[in-house]
Every structure is written in structure tokens, then in C-alpha cells.
Structure 1
Amino acid sequence: MSLSRLRKFIERVRENPGTGRIETPIPLRFSRITAEQSTHLIAEYQEGVPVQVLAGKYRIHRGSASQHLRDKGIPVRQRGMPEGLVEEDIRLYEQGCSLEAIGRHMDVSANTVRKRLIEAGVKMRSSYDHLLS
């Protein structure tokens, strides 16, 4: 856009402020679930389907799905790596496995493994230690 056209546009906007805006409706992304959907969501969750998957299926936010389960008295599973498996992660890490490999094995991200190992007091290797051996 040339400078003169820009100036004309600014003048038009100043004269009538509504002309410079493009109004687009914000799409409703998430909806409420029905009683029937609630029953299915709870049943599927109890069968082991992750909250993230259920949230996508029922087009609600993950946090809303978790809150819905809690409101219905359903204990919500912990996200990430279960506490009891940290010892196995430590053993694998000390044997030389990468954070990525441990994460794949535990079905979590490498960063989740790293956080758990640090919380457990494990001294982390540098990313180039294997080159020094």
C-alpha cells in the first residue's frame, strides 16, 4: 500500500471509526456435553481412554473433561509418568539410555523423564558425554 493510500485510509477511519475494523465472529470451539455423552465419556475414561482423546472426541477442553469427571466423583488419573516407575527410569538412564528412549518406553515426553530424574536427585549427563568415552 502506498503512503498516500495509507493516509487516505487513516483519514477515513478517523472520520468513521467503524470502517477500519474487520468484524469476524469468534467461532465456538467447545460445546457442553449431553447427559448421554457424559455417560459415554465416563465409561470410556474408566476403560482407559486418555482425557485428551475424550476431550477431542466430545469437542470440549481437556480441563473441562477432567473437571467433569471430578464433578461426577470419578478419580482422575495422573498425567505424565507414574511415580512408581521413577526407579526404572533411573536404572535405564544410568545404563546409558537416552531421555528420548526412556520417554518412548514410558509413553511420555523426554522432558517429563528429565524432570522426574532431576526431582529424584539424579545428576544429568551433558549431551556430549557419550563422545568423551
Structure 2
Amino acid sequence: MVEGPEVQVTPVGAVSRQLDDDQVQQLIKSYEAGATVYELGDQFGIERRTVSAVLHRQGVAMRRRGLTDEQIDDAVRLYSQGWSLARIAARMDVAADTVRQRLHERGVAMRDSHGQPRAGEA
């Protein structure tokens, strides 16, 4: 059991609350069993970044969730069909910036928020 003070967390748009030691331990066990930070955020009513911060403070080794080559191929296809980075990211359970980085590595020209090629990328 990890000793220490209760962890202060603030859900988005809500009053701050605290996870007690038992909740922190359950969060750690669930993460180590394969739950994502997004799933844990939903389960505990906290933001996924807060989940990551709690795990980090507790010394838990974080998984790096990336995209496989097949998922990147799929992301390239979906983006070329007009899907947004956010929509692709939600489908693949990663951050939109992860999708953007992988597309950029593949040489995909990024669109602006209006669906037009960004300046200098046309």
C-alpha cells in the first residue's frame, strides 16, 4: 500500500474532490490490468490528465500507447476522406496530437480548421 496524503483532483467543470488511498490503489490496479487513462478518468469522474498525474506521482510505469502501422494507414485513409484529427483519435483511443504526428511523419498535408490546406502546404 502506498502511504501518503489524499490526492486532490478537479474534474472538468466540477467542484474539486479527493481520491482516498483505496481509490488511488484501485486506480493503479486497474491501470496495471490494462485500463486506459481515458477509461479510468470516466470511472473515477476525473480528467485523464489527472489520472496520468496520479499514476506518475505514485511511481507507476506508464504505457506508451501508440499507433500500429495498420492504424496509421487507416488514419491516413480516414483523414484523406475528410475525417478530423479529433474524430480519428477518438476512434483509435489516442490523443489527436498523436494522430497529427503520425500523419505528419507520413507526409500528409494538414488542413486548417476550415478543411483547407494550411498555408505553405498546398
> What TM-score, normalized by structure 2, do the two folds share?
0.53
Question: What are the equivalent positions in structure 2 for 1:54-73 lying under 5 Å apart?
Answer: 54-73=40-59
Q: 2:46, 2:96 → 1: CA distance?
A: 27
Task: Indicate conservation of the 8 Å contact 1:30/1:60, yes or no.
Answer: no
Unaligned segments of structure 2, at least 5 residues: 1-12, 116-122
Q: 2:20, 2:30 → 1: CA distance?
A: 15
Question: What are the equivalent positions in structure 2 for 1:1-133 lying under 5 Å apart?
Answer: 29-78=15-64, 82=66, 85=68, 87-89=69-71, 91=73, 97-99=77-79, 100=83, 103=88, 106-108=92-94, 112-118=98-104, 120-124=105-109
Cα 1:62–1:30 change in 2 (3 A) is farther
More strand by share: 2
Question: What does the per-residue CA deviation read over 1:48-83, in whole Å, with 9 as the maximum and x for residues that have no partner?
Answer: 11112212322333222211111111122335xx16
The higher radius of gyration belongs to 1
Unaligned segments of structure 1, at least 5 residues: 1-26, 128-133
Aligned Cα RMSD in Å? 3.7
> What TM-score, normalized by structure 1, do the two folds share?
0.49
Cα shift at 1:109:
6.9
Q: Which amino acid aligns with 2:29?
A: A
Q: SS of 1:32's equivalent?
A: strand
Task: Indicate conservation of the 8 Å contact 1:45/1:54, yes or no.
Answer: yes
More helix by share: 1
Cα 1:30–1:76 change in 2 (3 A) is farther
Residue equivalent to 1:21:
none
Q: Which amino acid aligns with 1:122?
A: G
Q: 1:90, 1:61 → 2: CA distance?
A: 26
Q: 2:42, 2:106 → 1: CA distance?
A: 36
- Aligned residue pairs total 94
Residue equivalent to 1:17:
none
